[in-house]
Amino acid sequence: MKPAAFDYVAPTSVEEAVAALSGAGGDAKVLAGGQSLVPLMNLRLAKPAVVVDINRVAGLDGVTVRSGFLSVGALVRHADLAAHPDVAGWPLLRDALELIGHPAIRNRGTVGGSIAHADPAAELPGVLRVLGGSVVAAGPNGSREIAADDLFLGYLTTALEAEEILTEVRFPALPAGAGSAFVEFARRHGDFALVGAAVVVALREGGQVGEARLCLIGVGPGPVAVDMGGLQGKPATEATWAAGGELAAAACDPDSDLHAPAEYRRQLASVMTARALALAAPRASEPRR
């Protein structure tokens, strides 16, 4: 199929992009990598009156290490970020990037596009939320920072206003001495995950869990943060990781669909969480690169 007719705008600055979105009266879509928008338009599931192509906007393709976080421009491609030398210091992000789609998708898809699209099975929203990250959005009234906990509102829905453009994604560094892991289960390599788990684990001296964080993908309308406080003070053992899996299963409420029934996703949430915790804990004592 072909998309419905639309007007095309190719701004060269953030200000021009915001003006184009504002002038569309809420009936515009931003085009970056196009890996989600173009298929939706071809199927006529999305029929924007205006497409605002931001690929010519200057200043949105940088990667910079700042105090406490990695700043990633909205137009940075998945493949380019995965190959960037600074991403080695963000191992959870590096692990997730390797799981996104296929090479063709990673070569065109953008970090900002993945976050703004907010697919509940996408990897990067889970990473952003478990790290306590944020995004920067530019709009008619200037720029504002939105915390990940406040960004994802529901299925394919974020707190970004219709006149705003996401310009930067901020991934905080891991806590000192913490380890991380991202694991997922998909029917085939490159498919969207049925369930994925992003975890961060810090151990106390003596091997007890000092802190554990978990965010699940594929089990709700967005990335699902799970309270793992019940693991604090427990030994770093398989039994503790299994208990973490039980916390994950109890905290999620997935829907059944043509890919998997709800109970299967819930069981996968338990298994993926336990597996991710077991991988992350030994990395907590490894030196950061």
Strands of 24-164 (E only): list them: 28-31, 50-53, 63-66, 69-73, 134-139, 142-147, 152-154, 157-158
- Residue 84, burial from CB neighbour count under 10 angstroms (0-12, 13-18, 19+): middle
Q: Tell me the pLDDT band of 206, cut-offs 50, 70 and 90.
A: confident
Cβ-Cβ contacts under 8 Å for 126 (sequence gap 6 or more): 96, 182, 196, 198, 215, 216, 217, 223
Q: What does the longest C-alpha to C-alpha distance in the chain come to?
A: 64
Instruction: Return d(Cα 70, Cα 64) in angstroms, integer.
Output: 6
| % residues pLDDT > 70 (the chain) | 99
Residue 6 has pLDDT above 50, yes or no: yes
- Report, as an integer, the average pLDDT of 163-175: 97
The whole-number pLDDT of residue 49 equals 97
Counting residues of the chain whose pLDDT is more than 90, the rounded percentage is: 93
Q: State the residue for tokens 């998909």.
A: 186
**What confidence tens digit (pLDDT) does each residue in 29-77 have?**
999 999 999 999 999 999 999 999 999 999 999 999 999 999 999 999 9
- This prediction has a pTM of 0.94
Q: Walk me through the domains of the chain, giving residue ranges and CATH numbers.
A: 7-52 (3.30.43), 63-172 (3.30.465.10), 179-283 (3.30.390.50)
Tell whether the model's pLDDT for residue 136 goes beyond 60.
yes
Tokens 């090479």 locate to 103
* Predicted local distance difference test score (pLDDT) of residue 289: 42
Handedness of CA 160, 166, 168, 172 (dihedral sign): positive
| Helix, strand, coil percentages, rounded to 5, for the chain | 35, 25, 40
Per-residue pLDDT, averaged over 174-201, amounts to: 94
Question: Rounded to whole angstroms, how far apart are CA atoms 86 and 272?
Answer: 27
How large is the average pLDDT for residues 134-160? Answer: 97
pLDDT tens digits, 229-277 = 999 999 999 999 999 999 999 999 999 999 999 999 999 999 999 999 9
What pLDDT, on a 0 to 100 scale, did the predictor assign at position 124? 98
